[in-house]
Amino acid sequence: MSATLEAAPAKPAGKKKLILIAGVSVAILAGGGGGAFFMLKGKPAEPGKDGVPAATTTEHKRDPKVKPTFVPFESFTVNLNDKESERYAQIVFSLETVDAATGDQVKAQMPAIRGRVLMTLSSKTAAELLGREGKEKLALDIVADARKSLNLPETDKTLIEVHFSQFVMQ
Is residue 125, in this structure, part of any structural domain at all?
yes
Q: Looking at 29-38, 74-83, 126-135, which range is the least confident one?
A: 29-38
Instruction: Give the DSSP letter of residue 143.
Output: H
In this predicted structure, the answer to whether residue 54 has a pLDDT above a threshold of 50 is no
In this model, does residue 38 exceed pLDDT 90? no
Q: Is residue 160 part of a domain?
A: yes
Q: Residue 27's pLDDT is what?
A: 75
State yes or no: pLDDT of 105 exceeds 90: yes
Provide the pLDDT confidence category of residue 56 given band limits of 50, 70 and 90.
very low
pLDDT of 23: 76
Is 130 domain-assigned? yes
As a three-state string, the secondary structure of the chain is: CHHHHHCCCCCCCHHHHHHHHHHHHHHHHHHHHHHHHHHHHCCCCCCCCCCCCHHHCCCCCCCCCCCCEEEECCCEEEECCCCCCCCEEEEEEEEEECCHHHHHHHHHCHHHHHHHHHHHHHCCCHHHHHCHHHHHHHHHHHHHHHHHHCCCCCCCCCEEEEEEEEEEEC
Whether residue 142 contacts residue 117, with contact meaning beta carbons closer than 8 Å, is answered with yes
Q: Are 66 and 49 in the same domain?
A: no
Query: What's the pTM?
Result: 0.62
Please tell me whether residues 158 and 109 are part of one structural domain.
yes
Query: Which band of pLDDT confidence, cut at 50, 70 and 90, is reported for residue 17?
Result: confident
In a domain, 2, yes or no: no
CATH number at residue 122: 3.30.479.30
The band of 51, judged by pLDDT with boundaries at 50, 70 and 90, is: very low
**Overall number of domains in the chain:** 2
Q: In the structure, what pLDDT confidence band is assigned to residue 55 with cuts at 50, 70 and 90?
A: very low
Q: How far is CA 124 from CA 65, 114, 118, 160, in A?
A: 38, 16, 10, 23
40 domain residue, yes or no: yes
- 79 and 103 in a single domain? The answer is yes
Q: Give the range of the structural domain holding residue 85, as residue numbers without chain letter.
A: 62-169
Average pLDDT of span 116-122:
94
